[in-house]
Amino acid sequence: MTSWKTLLNRSYVPYSRSPRACAVVGQSGSIYYGVRIESASFPLTITEYQCSIFSCLSTGDKPVRLLLPADSPAVPALWTDTYKLDVRFAGELPDLPAGVVQLEGELDIASKLKSLQEYCVVGESKFPVACVIKTGQGRFISGVNVELNDWQAGLCAERIALAKALASGVSTFHEIHITAAKGDFISPCGACRQVLVEHMPYQKVVLYHPDGTMSEHTPAGLLPNFFNGKSIIS
């Protein structure tokens, strides 16, 4: 069973040094973990609420309960109001089955990317995007884009996959595969390029374009002369 201490230690907080965590229980009865993931570009920081709620939604589950450590700050109304969450402070995390994060077995990546698009929450853009990250352990973690009426609160597929990985204790990555159903040339947005370059700067980015072609890149190649935050820490 995962403890609050273990979960808090999975936070990526090199700038604030203030780890934060929460967990969401889905309608299925599964639990989805969330941690704070900071970016050198501070506004791109992923909150623990985004991490856990979007992890739940990205599997097709519905978030119903938000669990917090006893000393957590107040939850922004955006999350409780949007998803009608039952908020509870928990001394210990419950022993519930973990929501599916890592995909097991051999994977037909192109087919999986296509099937994942049914979980996208894209009421605003109508532009579904799906991705899978291959971890250092050779497993795959999926992500789809999730939007809210408040456009700034949603996250792209790439950042959701990365957040799910970090919250589950994975921190090494080999490659990421990305597709979208529309457009001529699929490519991560600027925000995703910044976050990816902070965690896997020279690993492979494989783009699956709507016309059936593919192209390979790296986050550093997609974001030349990137800012990595070393100046902030020093």
Residue finishing a domain among 89, 115, 133: 89
Whole-number pLDDT of residue 230: 82
Residue type, 70: A
Report the distance separating Cα 228 and Cα 200, nearest Å: 11
Same-domain check for residues 107 and 38: no
> Looking at the domain assignment, is residue 230 inside a domain?
no
pLDDT score of 10 more than 90:
yes
* Class of residue 230 by CB neighbours under 10 A (exposed 0-12, middle 13-18, buried 19+): exposed
**Which residue would you say has higher pLDDT here, 227 or 87?**
87
> Looking at the domain assignment, is residue 94 inside a domain?
no
CATH (domain of 108): 3.40.140.10
Residues above pLDDT 70, as percent of the chain: 98
pLDDT score of 1 more than 80:
no
Coil vs helix vs strand at 53: helix
Domain total for the chain?
A: 2
Same-domain check for residues 80 and 161: no
Report the distance separating Cα 18 and Cα 38, nearest Å: 10
pLDDT score of 105 more than 80:
no
> Looking at the domain assignment, is residue 85 inside a domain?
yes
Whole-number pLDDT of residue 104: 64
Residue finishing a domain among 89, 114, 145: 89
Whether the pTM exceeds 0.85: the reply is: yes
- Structural domain boundaries, residue 189: 102-222
Coil vs helix vs strand at 127: coil
Which is the catalytic residue, given 158, 175, 198, 216?
158
What is the mean pLDDT of the segment spanning 7-17? 97
Same-domain check for residues 123 and 211: yes
Same-domain check for residues 55 and 134: no
Nearest alpha-carbon partner for 53 in 71, 39, 67 = 67
pLDDT score of 130 more than 80:
yes
Angle between helices 48-57 and 157-167 (to 10 degrees): 110
> Looking at the domain assignment, is residue 10 inside a domain?
yes
> Looking at the domain assignment, is residue 97 inside a domain?
no
Same-domain check for residues 163 and 106: yes
Same-domain check for residues 119 and 180: yes
Per-residue pLDDT of 137-189, as tens digits, reads: 888 999 999 999 999 999 999 999 999 999 999 999 999 999 998 888 999 99
The verdict on whether 38 is a catalytic residue reads: no
> Looking at the domain assignment, is residue 77 inside a domain?
yes
Question: Looking at residue 117, what DSSP letter applies?
Answer: G
Using 50, 70 and 90 to split pLDDT, how confident is the model at 98? confident
Report the distance separating Cα 95 and Cα 3, nearest Å: 10
> Looking at the domain assignment, is residue 169 inside a domain?
yes
